[in-house]
Structure 1
Amino acid sequence: MRLRAFLATTLLVATASLSAAAQSQPWIKDRRYAEGIGYRTGNLELHPGIGAELGYDSNYFLLADDEGDKISVIRLRVTPSLSLSTLGPQRREGGGDPPKLNFRAGTFLSYNKLFATDSKDDTAVGDNDHAVNAGVNFTLDVLPQKPWGFDLYGDFVRSAEPSNSIQDSLAFDRDSVRLGAGINWRPGGGLFEWRLGYEVNYNFFERDAYSNLNNYQHYLMTRGRWRFLPRTALIYDGKIGFVRYTDATNLQHDAQTVNSKVGVNGLITHHFAMLAMAGWAASFYESRGGVPVHNYDGPVGQAELKWFLLPQPSLAPDQATVGLSTIAAGYVRDYTNSYLGDFYRRDRGYANFSYFVAGAFLINLEGGYSYLTHSPTYFGDGTQRKGSFGQSRADVTLFAEYRPSDTIGINTTLRYDASLGNTRVPLDQTAQDNLQYNRYEAWLGVRWFM
């Protein structure tokens, strides 16, 4: 039965990024797909929406091929959402003075009703029929075009996810809270910009089986940008982190982390944009209970090349990664804290195709291959559970939507994700855990949005 090992190796994205907890719907993860014409009320614009989808999930509990019959389900998903913001440039009348603040907030709730495709699985599925995902977020940028300003941001995400056990008490339901603030310095009319900030994350597991993994992550962060050409900028990003587990008896190690990257971002031509960043990262884990520690000390970075199907002659360098009709390919190397060993390193290649035609038809195809290198992991008595090992992950998602009007979208989502190979992690001195799985999802839905 995959519990702790499975948790550590399947929640990779979710523990690395809060935005991933929105999980499935592209219009929740990306407001460019979500928002329509909206409503204006005073100096705010509102964008409500609601979506309903019916889908098939081939392996809801992410069972390995050698773990018996997989449990497939039909899923009914209903997702209301709301976003609000200060007026965008299209709605600000007559130009005038730049705004003194920019504000944006959003919320969503996604309810899943599950139906087993085989009656013998009714009990297992019924016991886990509680899948409610939810999120709230906000950003506030004060004096965004002045030499000095400050920003605040925050989000809360609730993610419901089963383990491969049918017991509800072992589900991976979790909550993540993030709050941050920063001071911004923009001399010289915005050609140069520097930010110094602080961020805190809290990760909370709702089930008692994983309560010892609850943790805080504090970050001191800085980033800078120098626009040395009209559409190209040098950029820097650095942070110092502190990982702290709330359970004093937990054998997971607290840590300090350092990450620093420098690079360039901007348009090469009217059609091509480039992002290239490279740097170094290191971790400093603190031994607890006599369990050995292993630290990451190596390169990190990202490289991406993007082609705009329509030319972008006026795109600013900080906008060079946005656009609705694009083809992009890239590579990322990073590392993050792990719930199995100390850390894992991720090497990921990815590609994306996004096309929006005449405001009526949207298609987005994205996928990637990741190779994860886990640090050695140990039992509580300090004996080695497994040496450093690799894990291959693959994923691909197709989202297509037809909009017969400005407020209605009819969409489909096809998704495949897998942990490849037969990576096995010992659960004790006799049993092993196979981390392999394959999963297919197919959805058909309709949504109303403004």
Structure 2
Amino acid sequence: MIVRVMTQSGNIRSALSVLVLVVLGPAVAWAQQPPIAAGGNGFKVGDGRLHPFFDMELRLDTAVGYFPNNATPDPEDVVETLSPELVLRLRPGLKLDVPSPKVALSASGRLEYVRYTGLLTGQSTYASHFEGAADFTAHFNRDGPVSFVLADQFLRTDQTRNAALGAGVLSLFNELRASIPIKPGGGAIEIVPEVAWGLEFFQPIGLATPVGCEDGVCDPITVDAFDYTNVRAGVEARWRFLPKTAVVLDTDLDLRSYLRATTTSPDALLLRAMAGLAGLVTAKIAVTAKAGWGYNFGASGGSTFIAQLEGTYLYSPTMTFKGGYLRTLNPVASYGLFRDDRGYAEARALFGGKLVLHGYASVDFVGFYDALRPRSDTLLSLDVGPEYQFKPWLVGAAGYLLSTRSSSVTGTGLNFTRHEGYVRLTLVY
């Protein structure tokens, strides 16, 4: 068993991410958390308001990372499975909204300190780290026939969006986007060209190689080989030919390249295009149906049919149900491309103006495009829980999350079940 210390570059990257989050504090948003209630009056900023808030969360997580065995003095004796831990998360942040027909600004976010308490896994405390996010949007000439949107998203999290990698990985992601919404003829036709530039860096949470790992994608120690940059250009178009129904067209081109000279990940030049209909079937049922094709012009090749079918049912003004099927094709480290067939269902209800209940479930069947290393994964996700507004400035929440993953590739990093239960209090002014 091999135990290694994080590289110096990983520590530098951690420090830089903290610095960026501090500097961009007013523009930080935590994408994986529910919206914060407005609460209080905040501070007046021009025509808008700035709301400071603070989250305190205690979470029981059964799969935080790989760590040495507490029962032995040998640092190379690593527990074969992901270790459990009681995790304290502290999240100070700010939320800013400045509505304006000339320049509308929207920004929110937080810096998050993740403290592994060591109560369940004594060796986990050294892996405590900072997370957080930054999300900023500026919309110029919002009500005009031609407007301009500039946005940036910065995210540091242990929930990586890279489908090839296993558990125990921290992701540092940033994407800058610019779009020009065009609405000629009163808005019946809308065309939105967009360009985006993204970067993502990876580093391990624990300091150990998981047991049974026979492929680099399941080893968090070597994940920096998958750091990448991605340039995306696309156009979304919508023609509302009936009052409540529109023809939609989505097309984009991804140019994915990897930053490490030693990486074996093939670059990708992926074109995706879908067309279909979106609108109301009845006063309470909305449907989106799109179909198309994805094709990789890169050296590794690969193409497939892609589609989306989604229905939303407004049971009442305070209760909504949503479900659907999504088939996508995306670039990914190591394999070049992956196809994802996802089925999902979601429900959300508001009771008494203060209690919100939410539930979400999904199953993904993921296939990777590599003839020499065939691989398929199955992922199951569940997220349920209540949120209650005790006061305009105090919100409480609790929840349970389940994540399971099984892969045709061996290794505990790609085959695991993760249970998370949490309680959270949010103070907002």
Residue 408 (1) aligns with residue 397 (2): no
Please identify, of 201-210 and 78-87, the stretch whose mean Cα deviation from structure 2 is larger: 201-210
Q: Deviations over 1:200-244 (max 9, x none)?
A: 111123578333322111111111111222232222111111111
Residue 417 of structure 1 corresponds to 403
**Gap change, CA 1:399 and 1:27, over 3 Å in 2:** farther
Residue 143 of structure 2 corresponds to 145
Q: Partner amino acid for 1:359?
A: G
Name the SS of the counterpart of 1:391 in structure 2: strand
Q: Deviations over 1:335-374 (max 9, x none)?
A: 2222231111110101011011222101111011111111
Q: Deviations over 1:17-59 (max 9, x none)?
A: xxxxxxxxx9754664543455343312223221111121122
Residue 128 (1) aligns with residue 127 (2): yes
- The 5 Å alignment of 1:33-432 reads 33-36=36-39, 38-39=41-42, 40-61=44-65, 68=80, 70-87=82-99, 99-118=101-120, 121-123=121-123, 125-130=124-129, 132-160=130-158, 172-206=169-203, 209-286=222-299, 293=300, 295-310=301-316, 325-376=319-370, 384=372, 386=373, 388-420=374-406, 423-425=408-410
Total equivalences in the alignment: 371
Distance 1:69 1:209 in 2: 18
Q: Deviations over 1:136-165 (max 9, x none)?
A: 111112112212222111111122479xxx
Distance 2:389 2:366 in 1: 39
Task: Please say if residues 342 and 363 of structure 2, whose CA atoms lie closer than 8 Å, have aligned partners that are also in contact.
Answer: yes
**Gap change, CA 1:246 and 1:58, over 3 Å in 2:** closer
Residue 11 of structure 2 corresponds to none
**Gap change, CA 1:327 and 1:77, over 3 Å in 2:** same
Q: Deviations over 1:374-400 (max 9, x none)?
A: 1227xxxxxx4x3x2221110101121
Name the SS of the counterpart of 1:211 in structure 2: helix
Percent of aligned pairs with the same residue?
22
Distance 2:329 2:264 in 1: 20
**Gap change, CA 1:2 and 1:407, over 3 Å in 2:** farther
Q: Deviations over 1:240-292 (max 9, x none)?
A: 11111222332211121101111222222221111222111111223xxxxxx
Q: Partner amino acid for 1:114?
A: Y
Distance 1:250 1:402 in 2: 47
Distance 2:66 2:239 in 1: 46
Aligned-residue CA RMSD (Å): 2.8
Q: Deviations over 1:381-433 (max 9, x none)?
A: xxx4x3x222111010112112122221121011111013x6334xxxxxx66
Distance 2:402 2:279 in 1: 32
Q: Partner amino acid for 1:116?
A: G
Name the SS of the counterpart of 1:59 in structure 2: strand
Task: Please say if residues 2 and 433 of structure 1, whose CA atoms lie closer than 8 Å, have aligned partners that are also in contact.
Answer: no
**Gap change, CA 1:206 and 1:441, over 3 Å in 2:** closer
Unaligned regions of 5+ residues in structure 1, if any? Answer: 4-25, 88-97, 163-169, 287-292, 312-323, 378-383, 426-431
Q: Partner amino acid for 1:60?
A: V
**Gap change, CA 1:434 and 1:176, over 3 Å in 2:** closer
TM-score by length of 2: 0.79
Task: Please say if residues 233 and 252 of structure 2, whose CA atoms lie closer than 8 Å, have aligned partners that are also in contact.
Answer: yes
Name the SS of the counterpart of 1:111 in structure 2: strand
Task: Please say if residues 103 and 141 of structure 2, whose CA atoms lie closer than 8 Å, have aligned partners that are also in contact.
Answer: yes
TM-score by length of 1: 0.76
Distance 1:160 1:409 in 2: 24
Name the SS of the counterpart of 2:225 in structure 1: helix
Task: Please say if residues 110 and 134 of structure 1, whose CA atoms lie closer than 8 Å, have aligned partners that are also in contact.
Answer: yes
**Gap change, CA 1:212 and 1:69, over 3 Å in 2:** closer
Task: Please say if residues 66 and 81 of structure 2, whose CA atoms lie closer than 8 Å, have aligned partners that are also in contact.
Answer: no
Q: Partner amino acid for 1:103?
A: L
